[in-house]
Amino acid sequence: KPVCFFRWDGYAYLDAFDAFNNTLSRPSPPPPTPPPLPPPLTPPRPPSLGGKRIATRAIVGIVVSAVTFVVLLALGLVIWKRSYKPIKDIQTEYADDDMTSPQSLQYDFETIEVATDKFSRSNKLGQGGFGEVYKGILPNDTEIAVKRLSRNSGQGAQEFKNEVVIVAKLQHKNLVRLHGFCLERDEQILVYEFVPNKSLDYFLFDPTKKSQLDWKRRYNIIEGITRGLLYLHQDSRLTIIHRDIKASNILLDAD
């Protein structure tokens, strides 16, 4: 059976419930301080007017430069096309000149054959890759040099005539003059003025004859060569570049 005991004293219990009462009467602590709010976002600064002006100027400069380049390129092409003439057009222009036409330069084959005594060996002056060269005398006693071109040159008749007319217009004292041509019987023949002293190699490489070429004559030969080349390259109506300079192509006159 349960038993209960009660205990008491004749004096008061001092401060028995003070701790409990203090706990009930103590004010509650203040709530925690909320974290500070983040600073407001700064809106981006609008681009300055100076930056816009610089970008605009750069774009305008690029566009203007591109347009200028295209215009200059187109202008250059137009000028080039107007000034450019194909070789065939130049040859035709010279060939149609009334001063010198193919008909005025043409010899018949019988005249050339008689002048060279039917291309006899006694009249033969030399031979090269282009063909053979003969001495001839025309009915008016004019001495000529006849160059009989090789038949396998592959050059057409009209092209041959045009080139003959061009060469015939090259008039200079240091160039051998072309009198005319013959284009018959599948032959291509050039008729030049006759130069009596043959070519430079005839003297230059001969142990005996080279003694005739003293320094004064050598200087005259060199001067004549340079004058002739200068005329071909700069002073003639049609610029011609001579790409086969050698002693056998330098003909010596009586001087």
Q: Annotated binding residues for ATP, as ranges? A: 147
Q: What residues are labeled active site?
A: 244
- Residues annotated in a binding site: 147
Contacts for 163 with CB less than 8 Å, ≥ 6 apart: 91
**How crowded is residue 164: how many other Cβ atoms within 10 Å of its Cβ?**
22
Contacts for 251 with CB less than 8 Å, ≥ 6 apart: 176, 195, 197, 198, 199, 200
Query: For residue 193, what is the enclosing H or E element?
Result: strand 189-193
Contacts for 218 with CB less than 8 Å, ≥ 6 apart: none
Separation CA 115–CA 93 (nearest Å): 32
Judge whether 226 and 235 are in contact, CB under 8 Å.
no
